[in-house]
Amino acid sequence: MSLEVTENEFVCILGPSGCGKSTVLNILSGLEPASSGEVTIHRPHRANQPTIGYIFQEPRLLPWLRAEDNIKFVVDQLQLPQKDANFRIGQSLESVGLLKFARAYPHELSGGMQQRVAIARALAVDPHILLMDEPFSSLDEITARGMRKLLLDLWEQQKKTIVFVTHNMFEAAYLSDRILLMTRHPGTIYKSITTGLPRPREYEDPKIFAVSTNIARDFLREIGYESETETDRDS
């Protein structure tokens, strides 16, 4: 497998369950070793800036810590002056609209709010790259829609490089500059699609639906879903 992501690009990796999407993120983050090859990251040097932030499908907040303390837990690793650390914590919570919930425990927050805290936690350390593994898949569609809009707003403001894993074809078309389609057995990237859609984007834009429909048609044909369905009908 070979892929290249440019600075400030928003890339979605789309594929069926079990094709290795999460494994790609784990290798990029260093959580999992590659069986061969290497991961190379080129970036300007900035003191106290971690290269990569990781946002998982579940918020993974520490339940015994308040929202602000969950963020403080990672900010403390930067060993910043206390004033600077407090500013980052407050700024990150404000960026996701949760400043007034800073003292809330995870169990006092909805699923969407918990995921916003997880995003704030990742942004608080100002990483160069954000890896996101289906962060909205467990949310109801209304909440997920709001979270996608929030993510795009944050990306427009901060211009992070984002690699985002999803099963959702519309989500991929709405969010990304480019979509990498993966197949399984073995997991491989078989196609790269540049969406070519203008920003800012609106959910109601028919061009987004057109892109997602074309991806669905191409993707389902590639993984053999149509032929399998016909075989099932014949049997």
Residue 163 has pLDDT above 80, yes or no: yes
Q: What is the predicted pLDDT for the residue at 195? A: 94
Nearest to 136, CA basis, from 59, 200, 211: 59
Question: What would the mean pLDDT of 173-186 be, rounded to a whole number?
Answer: 90
Residue 116 has pLDDT above 90, yes or no: yes
Q: What is the predicted pLDDT for the residue at 224? A: 66
d(C-alpha 20, C-alpha 203), whole Å: 29
Question: How many Cβ atoms are within 10 Å of 208's Cβ, its own excluded?
Answer: 19
Residue 232 has pLDDT above 60, yes or no: no
CA distances 93 to 43, 115, 127, 171, Å, are 26, 12, 16, 24
Exposure class string for 96-133: b at 16+ Cβ within 10 A, else e:
bebbebbebbbeebebbbbbbbbbbbbbbbbbbbbbbb
Q: What is the pLDDT of residues 70-109, one digit of tens each?
A: 999 999 999 999 999 999 999 999 999 999 999 999 999 9
CA distances 231 to 24, 83, 102, 234, 235, Å, are 32, 65, 55, 5, 6
Mean pLDDT across the chain, nearest whole number? 88
Is pTM, for the whole model, over 0.85? yes
Question: What would the mean pLDDT of 177-204 be, rounded to a whole number?
Answer: 90
Q: What does the block give as tokens for 36?
A: 């061969």
d(C-alpha 186, C-alpha 1), whole Å: 10
Query: Strand 10-14 vs strand 52-55: parallel, antiparallel, or unpaired?
Result: unpaired
Look up tokens 């290798």; give the residue. Answer: 27
